[in-house]
Structure 1
Amino acid sequence: MSLVRRTSFPSLFDDFFNRDLLNWDKGNFSALNVTVPSVNIKETADSYEVEMAAPGMNKNDFKVELDGNLLTISSSKELNDEKKEEGYARKEFSYQSFQRSFNFPKDVVDEDKIEAKYENGLLQLTVPKKEEAKRKGPRLINIS
């Protein structure tokens, strides 16, 4: 008995239609490979904690604004890649941007004390509440 080894090569036609080229909603085709970052928001008694996963960026790529009770986090990033070698030149560019906005309850945020840091691909904001908006523990009410 002899073993026959078959090598199959996908046809150009099959290769073209099996790629994600026609599935625009499934991927991002830029060299930056960025999509809209995921956000976690947690409310504590004293503040709101906002975490945005944005790996591959640096702190200068972000713009964070508070307008009244609307917090907006946005970014714009441009990538230019140019290679020149003997006999050819190639230039590719990509532009990525996103914007996420969140409404806080009216007159709750202490806007002068907001802190933000970016470390290891995670943008973290601490949005403190005004003293009068902080949750107070249960209180005993005397019955007369």
Structure 2
Amino acid sequence: MSNLFPVGRDFMNFGRNFFEDPFDHLLESTSNFNVDIREEEQAYVVEAELPGMSKDSIQLKYEDNVLSIGATQEESKDEKDDKGNYIRRERSTKSYSRQFLLKNVKEEEINASFENGVLTVTLPKKDSDETTPKQIEIQ
């Protein structure tokens, strides 16, 4: 019941949480990207929202039944005075990564597309007779 309304726990942790950075929770909510996974009859369809990313900045891998999606975004801001001298110059790199366990996939038939900031990955399923577990004889 206490999980439904966790205010009491937050109050009890007030002293512990008092000195934490008050903006940490803002970074947590933006450190990942939104992903939707649909299971269709013949395939899994993964849609990842990656606004502002280019196709070249996305890494996509399927290995050991795990789909890994990664993205890197580099940003630089230059401000100069009238003479072209730097007043301020900043650079930042942000990396995002998510992993999903998707079994019974035909690895050689996976395909992906990236359009309007949305990465769509289609992972065709193996036929049901291909997914029967192997019986191991004990000697």
Letter of the 1:70 counterpart: V
Unaligned runs of 5+ in 1: 1-20, 29-33, 135-144
Unaligned runs of 5+ in 2: 1-20, 131-139
CA distance in structure 2 between the aligned counterparts of 1:94 and 1:36, rounded to whole angstroms: 17
Moved more, 86-95 or 96-105: 86-95
1:33-48 mapped onto 2 (5 Å cutoff): 35-48=31-44
SS in 2 for 1:130: coil
Q: What fraction of aligned residue pairs are identical, expressed as a percent?
A: 32
Letter of the 2:127 counterpart: E
Deviations 1:47-96, CA, capped at 9 Å, x for gaps: 00000011111111110001120110011222122232236521011110
TM-score, normalised by the number of residues in structure 2? 0.68
SS in 1 for 2:128: helix
TM-score, normalised by the number of residues in structure 1? 0.66
Greater fraction helix: 2
Following TM superposition, by how much is the alpha carbon of 1:27 offset from its aligned partner in structure 2, in angstroms? 4.5
Aligned CA-pair RMSD: 2.2
- Aligned partner of 1:4 in structure 2 is none
Work out which of the two has the higher radius of gyration on C-alpha atoms and give 1 or 2: 1
* Deviation >6 Å, runs of 4+: none
Following TM superposition, by how much is the alpha carbon of 1:22 offset from its aligned partner in structure 2, in angstroms? 3.6
Aligned residue pairs: how many?
A: 107
CA distance in structure 2 between the aligned counterparts of 1:125 and 1:99, rounded to whole angstroms: 15
